[in-house]
Structure 1
C-alpha cells in the first residue's frame, strides 16, 4: 500500500508519533539487550515504564499505560517468569497485590532511564537545547490533550 505524497512530505501526528515510538523502542531495547537484558521486548514497557520502585497495582499500571488490565496481567506473568518483578501483598490492602521490581528489574529500570537520557541529550544537541525543550513542552501538552479525549 502506497502512502500519498502528502503523508510522505507532511506526515500527520499519528505517523510522526508511531515512527518516533517504534524507533525509540528499537534503539532502547537493542542497547538494553547489549547491557544484559536481551529477553525483554518493547511490550514489557507497558509495565516497566510505569512501575514504581516500591511497587504498583496492576490497575494503576493499566490506567497509566492505556492497556487493558488483562494485558497487564499477561505482561506481569511474563516479567515474573523472566525475574524482573514479583507479586507481593499490598500492606495498605491485604486483598490487593503489588507488582514490585526485583533487583534485576531495578537494574533494567535504572539502565533504561540512563539510555533514554542519553538519547534525549543527543536529540537536544542535534536540534538545539532550547528547541528540544520547547518541543518536549509542546508535545507533552498535545499528549495530555489527546489523553483527555479518552476520558470522554
Structure 2
C-alpha cells in the first residue's frame, strides 16, 4: 500500500489536525467573506483568533498563536493597512504597544465567533452532543501537550 493511500485510510494525528484546521479555515473565511470581510486570509487568524477586545500585546499574540513575534508584526502591519486593528500605547507600560481591534475588527470578531459556533453546532448535530463534548475534551488534552 502506498503511503498516501495509508494516510487516507488511517490518518495520523498530523493529518487529522491539518484536515480539521484547513477545513475549518476554508469554511470560516468563506462565511466571513460573505458577511463583508473578503480581504482576510487564514494567516490573519494568528492575530484575530487571539486578539482581546481591549487589545493585546504582540508578544502575547505570538505566544498564544505559536508564531514568531516577527510573523505577528508582519500580520499586524497587514491588518492595520486593511483597517482591522490599530497600534495604541499600552496604558500599563508606555514603552509597549497594544494591538487594538477597530470597529471593522470588532465586527469581524463577532461574525467569526458566530460562524465557528454554527460550524460546531453542525458537528454536534452530526455526532451527538456527548460525543462532540468528549472529542473536544480529548482534543484539548492532546493539544495541550504542545
TM-score with structure 1 length normalisation?
0.93
Find the aligned partners of 1:134 and 1:4 in 2 and give their Cα distance. 29
Q: C-alpha displacement at 1:9, in angstroms?
A: 1.0
Counterparts of residues 109-148 of structure 1 (less than 5 Å): 109-145=109-145, 147=146
> What SS is found at the alignment partner of 1:56?
coil
Q: Could you tell me how far apart the structure 2 residues matched to 1:129 and 1:91 are? A: 43
Question: What is the CA distance between 1:7 and its match in structure 2?
Answer: 1.5
Stretches of structure 2 that go unaligned for 5 or more consecutive residues are: none
The runs of 4+ residues in structure 1 deviating greater than 3 Å are 2-5
Match in the other structure for 1:104: 104
1:86 and 2:86 are equivalent in the alignment: yes
State the SS of the aligned residue for 2:133.
Answer: helix
Deviation at 1:5, TM superposition (A): 3.2
1:112-145 superposed Cα distances (whole Å, 9 cap, x missing partner) = 0000000000000000110000000000000001
Residues 54-90 of structure 1, C-alpha deviations (whole Å, 9 max, x = no match): 0000000000000000000000000000000000000
Structure 1 runs not aligned, ≥5 long: 148-152
What SS class does the counterpart of residue 95 from structure 1 fall into?
strand
Counterpart Cα distance in 2 of 1:5 and 1:76: 40
1:6: how far off? Answer: 2.5
The whole-number CA distance in structure 2 between the counterparts of 1:101 and 1:20 is 27
| CA RMSD in angstroms, aligned pairs only | 0.8
Give me the whole-angstrom Cα distance separating, in 1, the residues matched to 2:92 and 2:4.
54
- What residue number does 2:13 align with? 13
